[in-house]
Structure 1
Amino acid sequence: GSGGPGTASREPPRPRSARVRRSPRRGRGGPPRGRAPAAPGPVATRTLGLLGADVLRVDPPGMPEADDAHADTGFGKRSALLDLADRADRAVFDGLLARADVVVSGYRPGALDRFGLGARELAAARPGLVLAQVCAWGWEGPWAGRRGFDSLVQAGYGIAAAEAGPDGVPGVLPAQALDHGTGYLLAAGVLRALAAGGGRVLRFSLAGTASWLVRDVPRAVGPAPGGADGAGAGARLRECGSGYGRLRYAAPPLAAGPGDWPAGPSRWGADRAAWLPAT
């Protein structure tokens, strides 16, 4: 709605199972460059995986994500590779879509339309689908089609100026607050849409989150969970095995729900492009 960083529109609902998939990034024959940063979508789907969703991330071959980024957001999901230009891979993709409850996409407005993966096409192919989209600068207006990422949007909304030091040099927040904040808001929107019966298009943007943070959050900020210097953060650290070896990581930042993911992340592209068997 207009009071927050996201919007929702309704499509006809249909009963679903509990499955979530992420749309693929660009590869040979894949969607074009210029998507929003990787963090919002993976943060959202990592959260949904924590809460019990079967999450499958799909990427094109040949464009691996940096190991540290994938390891950070790969908890609670699997990672597979498909080339949408390949007929067999596209058939697998369409089969996944036919059983999906949620699709999370992080591209500029209209970037997926020429692949038949726009909001209307996806809703027609899978009635009842919750389509959760995130971009950089918003879904309307002259900047809607522009590329962007967290730090750039922070600068555009005055956050960098507000964080400037005594010398006036623009500063940054101590974390990619727009990426992660938008991801958690997106996950909450998906949960609300599913509880209402599905069949919705959710649209979030880094710019919407930035505007909300600048306008409302400074009046409601509480103490940092680990203390101002992070000295108390050790109690929140966990360890587990993963496709990247032994990992030390922060526990999920949720006040309720599971205290940890059931398993660490697999390596990028290491899993089969298929849903888990129904239980």
Structure 2
Amino acid sequence: MAGSLDIRMKVVSLCHYLQGPAACQYLADMGADVIKIEPLKGAFERHWSGGNSWVTDVSAFSLAVNRNKRSIAIDLKSREGLEVARDLIAGADVLVENYRPGVLDRLGLGYEAMKAMNPSIIYASASGLGATGPAAHRPGQDLLMQARSGLVAATGGGEEGPSVVGAAVVDQHGGSLLAMGILAAYVRRLQTGEGTRVESSLFAAAIDLQVEALTKYYAAPDRAGRIERGRNCGSWYHDAPYGLYKLADARIVLSMNDAGKLANALDSDELRALCSIDRYAERDRYAAVMARVLAPHRFADVERLFDAHGVWFEKVRSYEDLREDPQANHMGVFNEIDVNGKAATLVNHPLRYDGGTPPIRRMPLYPGTDSRDIMTELGLSAERQAELIEKGVIGQAEQAR
């Protein structure tokens, strides 16, 4: 931070699921003071963890998206709880929320009300399909947006048809975009003192993920039939052999490569005979020959030949392989923290700053872990804090945990 000025971004998060929490986690990693307001029993991600993945009694989903935040549990349906929330927002630079459109308005925490109370507030909203429009009322979730945006239709191919992406890539990209928008608004606020309404959506994030593919698609002649391709072709717009291939003992992917280089690496007359064809127009033909040539080879042999000839390829590896990947570990991609005596493997912040990765400074394992500290910062006396906790307005995690 420059000089002695305290310009640490103060963020109040009213977020659950993934898109909003991921955005706030990026901000917290970068030094923002993020206070997560959650229900007394905790946000959604504390109660569900896909794959039945828990570390003791803590959801792995919650561990994935809440590092470096502080938690206060508040009953927002109570008048006193709303007063505490409003006091927090009044002193914040940013409010981030990803409730369905209209929910916070009904609680009196909507944009217009918060702007009237805090004119320089950055009010960031993340939704499924936007706040307005003919589909704004529909449920917005990663898989649904993969389908609606064309991502499922463009993935896979071959006889099996379309394929779903194997991770919540839309949610995570949406969180990244939302964090980027908040940072841009914060720079503007530092320059002008003005607040900003920032809006993101999973639908727009899913489309943005495909900016290259969509731009090429709409510019392509006879585009309607371009998506269809054979099982080995990984993309509708790349020349073969770009895609996935099976070896005798493994699977590999081939990226963009020179046809002559591939033929020489594999010493294949079949591939040499195809060097002069249009490997986009006849991508299925070329890919089928490549698949046939590769099928009997073992990975160790292919690796040696391709490395020697400068071929772009990678082995298809599992999550187990990834955890032991020497490059991933060199880069510090993973981290381990103690959760009630059991180690939990986390994925670190994806960027490096001055050669280092932001540390994990804290992890709110339970809702309300920081309730007392946050209330103290608001100026509430110990007696008032005890009263609010006793009345069930504020939740405080058990200190023994």
Give the TM-score, by structure 2 length.
0.56
1:238 aligned partner, one-letter code: N
Q: 1:234 aligns with which of 313, 329, 348?
A: 329
| Separation in 1, partners of 2:215, 2:348 | 27
Gaps of 5+ in 1: 1-14, 26-37
Partner of 1:20: 11
Question: Contact conserved, 2:173 with 2:209, CA < 8 A, in 1?
Answer: no
| Separation in 1, partners of 2:315, 2:74 | 43
Q: How does 1:1-279 map to 2 (within 5 A)?
A: 18-23=9-14, 38-64=17-43, 65=46, 66=48, 67-197=59-189, 198-216=194-212, 229=317, 230=322, 231=325, 232-235=327-330, 236-242=333-339, 245-256=342-353, 259-273=357-371, 274=374
**Aligned in 2, Cα 1:21/1:244: closer, same or farther, shift over 3 Å?**
farther
| Separation in 2, partners of 1:22, 1:102 | 8
Answer with 56-65 or 172-181: which moved more: 56-65
How far is the alpha carbon of 1:120 from its aligned partner? 0.8
Question: Contact conserved, 2:41 with 2:367, CA < 8 A, in 1?
Answer: no
| Separation in 2, partners of 1:217, 1:105 | 30
How far is the alpha carbon of 1:127 from its aligned partner? 1.4
How far is the alpha carbon of 1:100 from its aligned partner? 1.0
1:18 aligned partner, one-letter code: M
What's the Cα RMSD here?
3.0
**Aligned in 2, Cα 1:239/1:98: closer, same or farther, shift over 3 Å?**
same
SS of the aligned residue for 1:172 comes to coil
Higher helix share: 2
1:86 aligned partner, one-letter code: S
Length, aligned pairs only: 250
Gaps of 5+ in 2: 1-5, 49-58, 217-254, 257-313, 379-401
Q: Equivalent pairs: percent with the same residue?
A: 28
Question: Contact conserved, 2:152 with 2:162, CA < 8 A, in 1?
Answer: yes
**Aligned in 2, Cα 1:48/1:171: closer, same or farther, shift over 3 Å?**
same
| Separation in 1, partners of 2:98, 2:345 | 27
Partner of 2:285: none
| Separation in 1, partners of 2:8, 2:117 | 16
The C-alpha deviation readout for 1:95-146, integer Å capped at 9, x for no partner, is: 1111111011002222221111211111111110001111011233200121
How far is the alpha carbon of 1:71 from its aligned partner? 0.7
**Aligned in 2, Cα 1:159/1:24: closer, same or farther, shift over 3 Å?**
closer
How far is the alpha carbon of 1:214 from its aligned partner? 2.0
SS of the aligned residue for 1:80 comes to strand
| Separation in 2, partners of 1:17, 1:127 | 18
Question: Contact conserved, 1:56 with 1:275, CA < 8 A, in 2?
Answer: no
| Separation in 1, partners of 2:178, 2:27 | 10
Question: Contact conserved, 1:49 with 1:75, CA < 8 A, in 2?
Answer: yes
The C-alpha deviation readout for 1:165-198, integer Å capped at 9, x for no partner, is: 5333532223211111111111111111111114
**Aligned in 2, Cα 1:239/1:169: closer, same or farther, shift over 3 Å?**
same
| Separation in 2, partners of 1:237, 1:250 | 5
2:328 aligned partner, one-letter code: A
SS of the aligned residue for 1:171 comes to coil
Higher RCO (C-alpha under 8 Å, 6+ residues apart): 1
| Separation in 1, partners of 2:137, 2:67 | 31
| Separation in 2, partners of 1:200, 1:24 | 18
Question: Contact conserved, 1:240 with 1:263, CA < 8 A, in 2?
Answer: no
